[in-house]
Amino acid sequence: MRKSARTRERILAAAAQILSRKGWAGTRLVDVAEVAAVQAPAVYYYWSSREELLAEVVTVGQRATHAHVVASLEALPAGAGALERIDRAIAAHLEVVLDRSDFALAAIRNAAQLPADIRERQLVGQREYADVWRGLVEDAVAAGELTADVDARAARMLVLGALNTAPEWWNPERGPLADVVATTQHVVRRGLARRR
Amino acid sequence: MRKSARTRERILAAAAQILSRKGWAGTRLVDVAEVAAVQAPAVYYYWSSREELLAEVVTVGQRATHAHVVASLEALPAGAGALERIDRAIAAHLEVVLDRSDFALAAIRNAAQLPADIRERQLVGQREYADVWRGLVEDAVAAGELTADVDARAARMLVLGALNTAPEWWNPERGPLADVVATTQHVVRRGLARRR
DNA sequence: CACCTCCTCTAACGTTCGTTAGAATCTAAC
DNA sequence: GTTAGATTCTAACGAACGTTAGAGGAGGTG
C-alpha cells in the first residue's frame, strides 16, 4: 500500500518532467517510465491510459499554483493592504513556477496543445485562478491604489503572462529567487500604478 | 516554376498553422498536407525531412517578429524619443504575434520543445532579437526616461514574456488590436518608469 | 504533336509507440 | 512458511507515422 503509492508519485513526477520539456505529443511512456525507474506497462496499473496520466499532471500543475497563491494570501495578516496582497501573490506564483514545480511548468507550456476535452477542463481551472487575480486587482482599484484607466482584464493577463514565462529566462544560477521576485514586484506594481 | 513556389509557401504556412496548435512532436505530416491540399510525400520535394520543414517554420517565425520590429523602428523619424521607440516596438511586436503570424506563434510556443540542435540555432536568433530590446531600454535609461533601479535583463524579459503570451488571451472579437496595443504600452511604460 | 522537365501522386516498407495478456515477483497476514 | 492479493515484469500485437520508390500527370518548348 505504501510502496505502491510512492511508485505512483514517482511516475507522476516523471511524467511532469518529460511533459514540461517535450510537450504533450512528445511525451513517450517509455521515457516517463525510464525516469521513474519502472517499465512502461506499469503505468497502466495506476492510470487507464497515457492521456489520463498526462491530464493528471496538468491538473496537479494548475492546482499547485492556485493553491499556493491562495494559501500565501490567507497567511497574510487580516489588515494587509491591497498592494501588499498583490506583492504576495506575485511572490507565491513565482515561487511555484520557478522553484518547485515541473507540474506547473507542464501545465503552462502545454496549455495550447491539449486535446480538446482536456483543454476544456483546463480552462475551467484557469478561469478560477484568474478570478483570484481579478479580485486582487479590483480590490486595489477600489482602494484607489491602482490605476482604473486601463482595461483590467488585459492588464491582468499581461502580468500573468510575464509571470508564467519567467521560467523561460530565469534559473537559480543567475542569482537568488528573492531578487527576481523583488524586481517583478516593482515592475508590476508600477505597471498597474495610478497615473500621477 | 511559379506554381511550385506557391505550393511550397502553402505547405510552409500549413506547417506553421499545425505547429502552433499541436506542438513540435504533435505536428504530423499528414495533417500539414491536408491543410495544404497536397499529399504528404509532396513535402519531400521541397524539404529533405519533416524536421527541416518545421525548423524553417521556426526560423521564419522568429525573423518575422524581429524584422517587423526593426522595420517599424527605422520608419520612425530620426528625432523620436526613447520612450516613443519603445512604444513602437511594443506595437510592432504585438502586431506580428496577434495579427499576422502562425509562424511567430509556432516559434514562441515551441521554443522549449525543440530538438537540441534546432533549439541552439533558435537561441542565437532569440539573443539577436533580445539585443534590439536591450538597446531600446539602455537608450531610455541613458536618456533618464526609464528607471535604472531594477535589473534590466529581468525587466526586459518580463516585458517580452507579457508580449509573447498575448495571443493566449486576446482575440480580435474582443475589440480592436489598437486597444490592446495601447493598454500594453501604458502598462509597460509605467512598469519601467522612473520612480517618482 | 512529341518530348522533356518539373511536380505530385499512389503504394508500400520499417519503425516507433500505446496498449494488452499473462507470467513472475513481492508483500503482508496467518 | 504458506497463501492470497497486490504490484511489476516480459512478450507481443496493432495502429500510426515518416519516409522511399517509382509511376503518372502538367506545362511549356521544339
Show residues of chain B in contact with A150, CB under 8 Å.
183, 186-187
Show residues of chain A in contact with B86, CB under 8 Å.
none
What chain A residue is nearest to B188 in terms of C-alpha separation? A191
B124 contact partners, CB below 8 Å, separation of at least 6: none
Q: Are A85 and A136 in contact (CB under 8 A)?
A: yes
Amino acid at A69: V
Could you write out the DSSP letters of every residue in A105-123?
A: HHHHHHGGGS-HHHHHHHH
Q: Are A192 and A137 in contact (CB under 8 A)?
A: yes
Tens-digit pLDDT profile for residues B128-167: 999 999 999 999 999 988 887 889 999 999 999 999 999 9
**C-alpha of A14 from chain center:** 17
Amino acid at A43: V
Q: Which nucleotide has its C1' atom closest to residue A44's CA?
A: C19
Rounded distance between C-alpha atoms, residue B51 and residue B53, angstroms: 5
Tens-digit pLDDT profile for residues A6-16: 899 999 999 99
- CA to C1' distance (Å), from A47 to C27: 22
Show residues of chain A in contact with B161, CB under 8 Å.
161-166, 168-169
Mutate which: A187, A189, A196, vs B, most B CBs within 10 A: A187
CB atoms within 10 A of CB A131: 11
Tens-digit pLDDT profile for residues A95-148: 999 987 899 999 999 999 999 999 999 999 999 999 999 999 999 999 988 887
Q: What is the pTM of this model?
A: 0.93
A183 touches strand C (CB under 7 A): no
Tens-digit pLDDT profile for residues A50-91: 999 999 999 999 999 999 999 999 999 988 899 999 999 999
Q: Are A68 and A95 in contact (CB under 8 A)?
A: yes
A44 touches strand C (CB under 7 A): yes
B7 touches strand C (CB under 7 A): yes
Three cell numbers, residue B117: 540542435
Mutate which: B50, B153, B164, B165, vs A, most A CBs within 10 A: B165
Tens-digit pLDDT profile for residues A146-190: 887 889 999 999 999 999 999 999 999 999 999 999 999 999 999
